[in-house]
Amino acid sequence: MKYFYLVALLLWSAINAMAGVELTAPTPQQYAEYGYGVSANGNTLAVINNGYTGVVYVYQPTTKNWNTAALVAELTASDGALFTSVTVYGDVIVAGAAGENQSQGLVYGFIQPQGGWQNATQSFVLSASDGAAHDNFGYSLAFSNKTIVVGAPGEIGGTRVGAAYVFTEPASGWASGTETAELTDLGRGPSVGYSVAVNGPVVVVGVLGLNAGALDVYQENVGGWQNSTETAQLTDPGPPYCSQLGQSVAIIGNTVVGGFTGGCGGSPRVVVYNRPGNAWTSMSTPTADLMAQQNTKASSRFGWSLALTNKFLAVGDPLLGSLSNRHGAVFVYAAPQGGWQDVVSTTEAEEINSGTHDSQFGNSVSAFSTGTIFVGAPESVVDGVQGAGAVFIKSY
């Protein structure tokens, strides 16, 4: 039998409130939902509102462990696009503007100048070669090394046939252009691209609306990415029909984690898949279920956001709480002593929250394996301003 162990860096103390740093927009605005999206990598944190303003707020730590953070730049699109997703890797930040340019979404890339981040407009723009075929291009984003993945889950109320687009960095560096490859689903399932993740030569795409939802796995072709359908599909027969896998997805090494959306009375949970053997093959049963203690404690949005590291997994539940105080929370699961390949079904090691009424704490989450968690709470009240939003940083 395998057991979960807490690593030395994650000696979680029992807390009812989220201690640490709280960030807010320079000028809080009503219902702007600052913190709707967060992404952190290296010494950079990127924060967006919920399509309210076209600004990426860029922060960097003023201490080694993010005990304090400073706003160093505000990034905007030259055409005034409103951002709905964001991700950062190294010295590049990309922000999606789903539905911009009339029916075609765009993704805006920002490259850090030699002297450090400063206020600027985009360095490059990514678009789909098939134009308006997927008008939610940019709804979801993933970025690792030289690969950017853009989800385009299709038109709401229409056919909802979506795709994911892979962009690989040219030898001369990132520049405006169209995709290297388009990833589609064999069943042409609805909402392909609702969530995306990338790790080296593997891309995972959330597919809502295909029976109980699914996670499509794509393996890079020999010689580089090419248009393709999924290599394998990860499903789970357990949840009710209206509780669909693919709301969120994360990958690290040979481990994929997926979150559900909705729910019809089933136990809220996220699921873990470990690669069987040397290559991904379709799996109809997860390796493990990760649940909240006393299943009824979690809300139907348990797993709305995910942040996976080699030492722990952070799971957002922005509606956790009572009807009179849905404060939201992030549940933290420590990796087993032998790594995620030894994962078994379990409940969380810790729960953290801000204790703030109806803040949707956990709507977005990012994390470092060293023990820093960044949590978006886009409905937070700031200086009396409703829905202004906040981001909390917890360092261990």
Residue 46 CA to residue 41 CA, distance in Å, equals 9
Compute the average pLDDT of residues 30-46. 96
DSSP percent split of the chain into helix, strand, coil, nearest 5: 5, 45, 50
pLDDT at position 53 is 82
What is the model's pLDDT at position 13? Answer: 38
Q: Reduced to 3 states, what is the DSSP secondary structure of residue 187?
A: coil
Q: How confident is the model at residue 158 (pLDDT cuts 50, 70, 90)?
A: low
Q: How many Å apart are CA 23 and CA 391, to the nearest integer?
A: 5
Q: Using pLDDT thresholds of 50, 70 and 90, give the confidence band for residue 45.
A: very high
Confidence (pLDDT) at 78: 96
Kindly report the CATH class assigned to 32-313: mainly beta
Chain mean pLDDT for the chain: 87
Residue 383 has pLDDT above 80, yes or no: yes
pLDDT at residue 258 above 50? Answer: yes
Measured distance CA(245)–CA(71) in Å, rounded: 36
Predicted confidence (pLDDT) per residue in 95-143, tens digit: 999 865 445 789 999 999 999 999 999 999 999 988 755 568 999 999 9
Minimal CA–CA distance to 262: which of 203, 224, 303, 225? 303
Query: 43, 60 in Cβ contact below 8 A?
Result: yes
In degrees rounded to 5, what are phi and psi of residue 53? -135, 150
In this prediction, residues 183-189 reach a mean pLDDT of: 82
pLDDT in tens, 214-224: 999 999 999 99
**Structure-token pair, residue 82:** 């409103």
How does pLDDT run across 339-368, given as a tens digit for each residue? 999 999 999 999 998 878 889 999 999 999
Contact by Cβ (8 Å): 362, 320? yes
Residue 170 predicted with pLDDT over 90:
yes
The 10s digit of each residue's pLDDT in 12-34 is: 333 334 557 999 999 999 999 99
**Could you state, in order of their start, the residue ranges of all structural domains in the chain?**
32-313
R_g of the chain, CA atoms, integer Å? 19
Q: Whose CA is closest to 307, among 359, 395, 373, 211?
A: 373
Least confident of 43-57, 129-143, 319-333, 338-352: 129-143
Residues 302-315 have pLDDT tens digits of 999 999 999 999 99
pLDDT class of 265 with cuts at 50, 70, 90: low
Specify the DSSP element, H or E, that contains 313. Answer: strand 312-317
Mean pLDDT, to the nearest integer, of 377-386?
A: 94
Where is pLDDT greater, at 84 or 244?
Answer: 84
**How far is Cα 357 from Cα 379, in angstroms, rounded to an integer?**
9
Strands 69-76 and 120-121: parallel
Between CA 361 and CA 223 the distance in angstroms is 43
Extract the runs of DSSP E, i.e. beta strands, from 112-266: 120-121, 124-127, 140-144, 147-152, 163-168, 177-178, 181-184, 192-199, 202-207, 214-219, 228-229, 232-234, 243-252, 255-262
Q: Alpha-carbon dihedral of residues 296, 299, 303, 307, nearest 10 degrees? A: -100
